[in-house]
Amino acid sequence: MTIEISIVAPIYNEFDNIPELYRRVKAVMDAQGLTWELVLVDDGSTDGSTERMRELARQDKRVRPVIFARNFGHQIAVTAGLDYARGAAVVIIDADLQDPPELIPDLIAKWREGYEVVYAVRAEREGETWFKRTTAALFYRIIFRITDVKIPLDTGDFRLLDRKVVDVLGKMRERHRFLRGMAAWVGFRQIGVPYKRAARFAGVTKYPFRKMLRLALNAITSFSYFPLQLATYAGFVSAGIAIIAIPVVIALRLAGSQFFGGQATTLIAVLFLGGVQLISLGVLGEYIGRLYDEAKGRPLYIVREEPEK
């Protein structure tokens, strides 16, 4: 049987959300009259989500669970879902139902118009703190400015991808993944669909500030050399300050001024330059660490249990 639409949802401790996700996806897709499948990728859940996915698969063969051997992370789980999806188009959606399945028909409509990437734009965001909304908006605008790839503002992974795009992404096996950036990088015809992002249906967020910071770092280092350039700029600024300061200090000393006297000035200068150097080494370390991870050539994920073909 030919599958027209695959829906991919990464799962990590979403026990209470899985039945509602399935119910709403089923209602939306059955109303469309299309052949579909729901690929649920269990990213090392420990709350019973795994068995709940198996139970749904026994009840409905259109549910296809992919169960990891351990937790590999959200972006890797989405990648596995794309690898196992069989549809002519693939919709990526989060299991917490902040991204409403009821928007899927709008994404499909744009796909039928000939667009190969249809991304959902967060026009409104419910159930999120002021801090998260502000930092998210700031992140999207910074990444838009410093990268050569123009990643659409206020978009997440909620999107529809044509099979051609899925196949291209399948060939891109870098470990530190930022899929919304990768989807922008591949090109093709793209368009956005605005929507109101709802509050989480149940449970707690799986993206605390630490993980959000790591995702931001992956985005910046995957699509920009700006941090390396920033270290160079800092070096030029420090050198410029030193070049200007040398004749000033000499003139003041000859004039008998004690403004730059004592060890405090020397200590401050040493600490400043040392800080710049350590930050620069840290930035270099981030890029070198990514090269090391890629050189090892390990698989992106390990599957303990996969669906039938």
For 96-139, the pLDDT digits (tens) are: 888 889 999 999 999 999 999 998 888 666 656 666 667 666 77
The residue among 210, 238, 263 that closes a domain is 210
**215 lies in some domain:** no
> Are 10 and 121 members of one domain?
yes
Question: Which of the pair, 259 or 24, is modelled with greater confidence?
Answer: 24
> Are 107 and 168 members of one domain?
yes
**238 lies in some domain:** yes
pLDDT of residue 113: 92
Question: Which of the pair, 208 or 189, is modelled with greater confidence?
Answer: 189
Helix axes 209-223, 226-254, angle to 10 degrees: 90
Please give the model's pTM, rounded to 2 decimal places: 0.72
Number of Cβ within a 10 Å radius of residue 47: 13
Question: Which of the pair, 134 or 19, is modelled with greater confidence?
Answer: 19
Give the domain extent around 269. Answer: 226-296
pLDDT of residue 182: 85
% of the chain residues with pLDDT over 90: 31
> Are 183 and 257 members of one domain?
no
Tokens of 53: 């996915």
pLDDT of residue 144: 67
Give me the number of domains the chain comprises.
2
Measured CA to CA, the distance from residue 151 to residue 141 in angstroms comes to 9
The residue among 160, 176, 210 that closes a domain is 210
pLDDT of residue 176: 81
**221 lies in some domain:** no
**277 lies in some domain:** yes
> Are 236 and 206 members of one domain?
no
> Are 172 and 277 members of one domain?
no
What CA–CA distances, in Å, run from 274 to 230, 238, 278, 280? 16, 11, 6, 10
> Are 191 and 230 members of one domain?
no
> Which of 9-13, 129-133, 235-239 is predicted least confidently?
129-133
Question: Which of the pair, 140 or 151, is modelled with greater confidence?
Answer: 151
> Are 61 and 122 members of one domain?
yes
Kindly report, residue by residue over 199-210, the tens digit of the pLDDT. 555 556 655 566
Question: Which of the pair, 253 or 77, is modelled with greater confidence?
Answer: 77
> Are 158 and 282 members of one domain?
no
**206 lies in some domain:** yes
The residue among 143, 175, 210 that closes a domain is 210
CB-based contacts of 171: which residues, under 8 Å, 6+ apart?
Answer: none
